[in-house]
Structure 1
Amino acid sequence: MTHGTGAPFGLCEPLPHRLGKQPKPVTLSAAPRYLQVAGACNEPLAAPARPSQVFWMLNSGYFSDSCCSHPLSTPAELEEKDALGVRHAACRCLQAELGIPPDQISPDDIVFMTIYHHRAKSDRIWGDHEICYLLLVRKDVTVNPDPSEAKSYQYMTQEELEDLLERDARGEAKVTPWLRSIAEKFLFKWWPHLDELAPFMEHHRIHRV
């Protein structure tokens, strides 16, 4: 659990944040170097590919960010310095949810961008209220999602993600509220600058979304 400043003050099970308390999740978008239909590739395409990111469909049918979870109460995942704890947590979640082999991803591969305070109502009962650490990965990896976590996954260019959000607005597709917030307020601004992200890193700011 965290205060509104992001400072941790205790532990919780996953349920309480649905009732208004704020856990500290890890939200991650994976950007491979090259785009290939049906997943990440180990070799570049013949022609230069536009930067793409991987998004996955939850079993509920909603498209979401590449990975979203919470750090465990372990020394490695509670380390605050340089967001090392949440980067360790992201590695664990990428392995568990997207099936990325441990030898293909490490905390050093993960870029901590910023923090945001997220609230979203899902229906009359459920909602989200979280302090989120936004992370990026740009690497070729093998993706083999856990079928209990993801129905499918897809690499998208910025234009394709914009189209998905438009289709969601028309009721023709479904995206999670946090994916829309992340895309519109952060990802679309960062996307053209994946080779030079330093100017966009705001480690000590909490964006109120």
Structure 2
Amino acid sequence: MSATTTVTQSESANNILRLFPEINTQLAAQTQNSATQDDDLAGYDEEQIRLMDEVCIVLDDNDVPIGSASKKICHLMENINKGLLHRAFSVFLFDSQDRLLLQQRASEKITFPDLWTNTCCSHPLGIPTETGATLPAAIEGVKRAAQRKLQQELGINPAQVPIEKFDFLTRIHYKAPSDGKWGEHEIDYILFIKADVDLDINPNEVRDSKYVAAQELKDMFKDSSLKFTPWFKLICESMLFEWWEHLNGGLEKYKGETEIRRM
């Protein structure tokens, strides 16, 4: 009886796929090979393993989507070293006193645990509302993703960070190892937002947070006991402090850059 049921299901599935060729079978295949059953992730935090099943947007070098793959596949250094590249974003949230909100990544994180970084760093998902083939569509997608992740990581109510308040500045293309197994290879969209927000931090994502003025952040970089994510250091060393100086006037000339900065 069991064997008959299996055959019937297979015939049904094949019939559905013949009738509806537009069905994307990738998600079903990925579910069958979930990260929760993956030896590469044995011993890591259960919730962080689950998040490795999220689907990232795979890109060519010009930021054009060519498909999607799991977060786990995109962050293995063996794949990164073969050229696998995905889309990401970095949010810089400033309060009404022009202080930047930093977070220290949780110890449970699989990549770059315990490192200090900007307010929120993550990936738009390979779904219609967050994927975009043109730059304007991609910007809208990463803004929606930023709003989603600010809530998931820091408990920020989306009403406090409306989509229209995010400013897109530029994109950076960089590659950085986390350890021997994991790393990043991203085209990272830089988003600024100025808002006073209430925090309800998710300890599985964020170990600590603090607001800093520009000089306080520069002093943090001088403290050898503190470690920072590579993308945050790149942005700070090249562009952040100049942007920060123009936060309340003159930022317009830095917004909407169309060229990708190769780091």
For residue 3 of structure 2, what is the aligned residue in structure 1?
none
Give the drift of 1:112.
Answer: 0.5
- Write out per-residue CA displacement over residues 30-84 of structure 1, whole angstroms, 9 at most, x where no aligned residue: 01112xxxxxxxxxxxxxxxx2100001113211111111112222212442511
Give the drift of 1:128.
Answer: 1.4
1:58 is aligned to 2:105: yes
* The structure with more helix, counted as a fraction of residues: 2
Q: Which has more radius of gyration? A: 2
CA contact (8 A) 1:113 1:200 kept: yes
Give the drift of 1:204.
Answer: 0.9
CA contact (8 A) 2:157 2:198 kept: yes
Separation (CA, whole Å) in 2 of partners of 1:118 and 1:65? 16
- Write out per-residue CA displacement over residues 136-162 of structure 1, whole angstroms, 9 at most, x where no aligned residue: 110111111111100110001111111
Secondary structure, aligned partner of 2:185: strand
Secondary structure, aligned partner of 1:186: helix
5, 11, 34: which one aligns with 2:68: 11
**1:11-50 pair list within 5 angstroms:** 11-18=68-75, 19-20=79-80, 21-34=84-97
1:173 is aligned to 2:230: no
Separation (CA, whole Å) in 2 of partners of 1:102 and 1:206? 28
Return structure 1 stretches of 4+ with deviation > 4 angstroms.
none
In structure 2, list runs of 5 or more residues that go unmatched: 1-57, 107-112
For residue 241 of structure 2, what is the aligned residue in structure 1?
188
Q: CA RMSD in A?
A: 1.4
- Relative to the length of structure 2, the TM-score reads 0.69
Secondary structure, aligned partner of 1:199: helix
CA contact (8 A) 1:99 1:145 kept: yes
In structure 1, list runs of 5 or more residues that go unmatched: 35-50
Separation (CA, whole Å) in 2 of partners of 1:199 and 1:102? 27
Q: How many residues align?
A: 190
